[in-house]
Structure 1
Amino acid sequence: MSKIYFLITTFIINLSFYQSLYSSDQDYCVGYLEEVYWSLDPIEEIEVREKIIKFFDDNFEGAKNLDYDLYYDSQSKQFLIDLEGVDISKYKKVNYPNFEILVLDAYINLFKGDGINYCPAFWDNCSEESLKSFFQASEDFSQSWSGEDNAMKFLTDHFVNHHCTMYLDTSIDQKTFISDLNILINELTK
């Protein structure tokens, strides 16, 4: 009987340990993907943006299908989810290319977790360990990012094989993405 008790106790301890590691990794990747998104998004040079899009097309199967024109309602501060019967000329059209969709989708899905506590992205009820992982990712990112002029070097040398890319998913439903994006906008505009 004591052997069974020992095995069960060992299993529970190991499970707790691995859950803690998984949670810490998710917190880390929230920080990392946040940095990646906010570094790539402001790049305005068309040639560089096209190279980034091609990089994602070439390195993430299915990324070619991700290019969304979304419509933003500035009064509600939300993107429209259902366009059926809507006069879209009244709304601001915003294009999201593949890299923005992939990185944002992974980032949002990691930070929204249980849908209640958006830690560490918005510091809701965060443990010290969670924040430490989040900020470690920011620090690690800053060691490899050397500015917009070197975006492609960053992507090929640091991003493509980074462990956080395992959270990138190319089978993204557009309406779900918009709904999740609206959660992010809501949190950013509180």
Structure 2
Amino acid sequence: MQLTPVTADESAFLAAGAALDHTHPLVRETAARLRSRAPGEGPAGYARAAFDFVCDTVDHSLDVGDPRITWRASEVLQLRTGICHAKAHALVALLRAEGIPAGLCYQKLAVLHGLVALKLPGGRWIRQDPRGNKPGIQARFSPDREQLAYRVRPEKGECDYPVLYDEPHPVVLRALRRASGHGHLLRLLDAAL
């Protein structure tokens, strides 16, 4: 899928923000540990290590019945829980911490689903899905082709949004910050975008 960045200024996809707080000590420490696991593998090796870390060690809160709603990358890494949007925030922060341009994009499924897109040196923007795997869902990291958890079904009104955001979409961030529980969060996200 061809993504259209919200800005041509690629430095925006390296910046820290409230949700993408890659200057936080925990994000920096985690990035350093991941970098040490992929020595000599370059940006693609680090990106794979970061993707695997978020997929495998941060629980998707709905999958495990964790009632906590996280939204800030450092919080996601500390508590090791979050829905797809929160996990995407954590992965984007880890990528940006190591100088890899990364942003956020979305799919409209039964509810709004959060994804990441990254750009490796000499490459194009490629979407990644750090939601985490479970029976029936098998997303994989790939530096050159998408291997997402879900394929959209246009006949059911689903779609891929082609916009790449440098910050979480304001509606998504507002929903994550205001939701009183997962049911409330899903209702807020259902109305998003």
TM-score relative to the length of structure 2: 0.27
Name the one with the larger strand percent: 2
Name the one with the larger helix percent: 1
Q: Which has the larger radius of gyration?
A: 1
Q: Which has the higher contact order (CA 8 A, sep 6+)?
A: 1
